[in-house]
Amino acid sequence: MTHPDNRLGRATVPAPRSSSPQPPAAEYPLGARARGGAYILLTVLGQALWSAGGLVLALAGVAAVCVGGRVLTGTRPGAALPAAGWFAVQLIALSPRPEGDFLLVSNAESYIFLLGGMILGVAAATMRTLPRLLQSGPRR
């Protein structure tokens, strides 16, 4: 089999065909530049110390920022970056200061806040798909 443009008369081999269906192209609600800006904003939002309103409210805030970042950007880094920013500030807040003071005391509530926020951030970042309530598009 020769191609009409092949003047040397060499045989051409057709490209291999895959019988498996191709995955659908990812649809992101934001463009690339807006998504980059959202990542920066979400990292800064994740750095806020949410513990002033109580442990449950603080953990709900961490989860809301992480899941909101995932919904806003449509990507896993949208949830991971706020969790990373939050975790970095928590490590700084739990470390002793040169004056001997602590920003957050080392008690059970602080450690539950630290571990609970880590678990919620990792869960939001590693979800395969968003819950149906949070997905955009037509509902079935």
Cα–Cα distance for residue pair 64/120, rounded to 1 Å: 9
pLDDT in tens, 58-67: 888 888 898 8
pLDDT in tens, 69-107: 888 888 889 889 999 998 888 888 877 777 777 777 777
pLDDT in tens, 33-63: 888 888 888 887 766 554 455 777 788 888 8
Closest C-alpha among 20, 28, 68 to residue 46? 68
Token digits of residue 55: 């442990």
Enumerate residues 6+ apart whose C-beta is below 8 A from 18: none
Cα–Cα distance for residue pair 25/136, rounded to 1 Å: 15
